[in-house]
A = this chain, B = another copy of it.
């Protein structure tokens, strides 16, 4: 029987937080609190709603909490936090976005990015290889950059990225080409003809009346459809992809794929 409630919280309990706006949809509190409980670790992960305009003030205040041992970041804070931490770990630096930060013994905060590894971990756990894949990706923000770099690490053959902000898509494609000379990375519209993998890295699907990130005509049998949006059931995009015969991976699976890695980054459960 799963028990998602945290353990008793006392004055000795260590705090962790996830910062985002909106915050109601986040899955990290349940995921981490389940892990802490399974490890008998006296800590709790909390939702913290912080507007973009308040991010620097909130982070400044939170780092003054002596029993706060780490933070997780979700939309829209993954890229702005790069400027606010004191030090970037290598993957956070290359991606240019972070989803986690921790304090060192001397009070400096280090940031790193686990979204890409989480997505890859989940795909591989479900038997999907990324080698040679032709990827059409929507969204070149923090999570989009993280997934693109992690997919490139795993040997995809091509990645076409689209973003409402075309310069962001161009920048990601150029950064990928520089880091992976063998990868055909380009900015451009999504298209089914030459793609076998669809990845939504936009927030489309968080609100009920959002349009789909990909047209249904872009989806076909045997493809792989990945979503970063967290919902209790399939997002409309994944439901459409599923109906078209795609294999699907949810935002929750991606989160599950990285919880242990982030916990280790926080110094919790260093043995698997």
Contacts and interface: CB of A to CB of B under 8 A. Distances in A.
Interface of A: 4-13, 15, 21-27, 29-30, 33, 44-51, 54, 57-62, 64-68
B9 A33 contact: yes
A140 B45 CA distance: 38
Contact of A62 (B10, B61, B67): B61
A11 B25 contact: yes
A66 to B, nearest CB: 4
B13 A29 contact: yes
Given A9-B45, A21-B66, 18 more contacts: A5-B7, A6-B6, A9-B29, A10-B24, A11-B25, A11-B26, A12-B24, A13-B29, A15-B48, A23-B66, A44-B44, A44-B46, A48-B67, A49-B65, A49-B67, A54-B64, A58-B61, A58-B65
Number of chain copies forming the complex: 2
- Which 3 interchain pairs have the tightest Cβ spacing? A61-B61, A49-B66, A54-B64
21 contacts: A5-B5, A5-B6, A5-B8, A6-B6, A9-B44, A9-B46, A11-B29, A11-B47, A13-B29, A21-B66, A23-B66, A47-B67, A48-B65, A48-B68, A49-B65, A50-B65, A50-B66, A57-B60, A58-B65, A60-B60, A62-B62
B30 A9 contact: yes
A51 B25 contact: no
A118 B64 CA distance: 29
Contacts of A47: 9-13, 15, 67
Interface-central residue, A9, A11, A25, A68, by most chain B CB under 10 Å: A11
A80 to B, nearest CB: 14
Contacts of A58: 61-62, 64-65
A11 B24 contact: yes
Nearest to A66: B49
B23 A11 contact: yes
Contacts of A68: 48
Interface centre among A15, A47, A64 (most CB of B within 10 A): A64
A64 B61 contact: yes
A7 B8 CA distance: 10
Contacts of A66: 21, 23, 49-51
Contact of A4 (B8, B26, B45): B8
Nearest to A21: B66
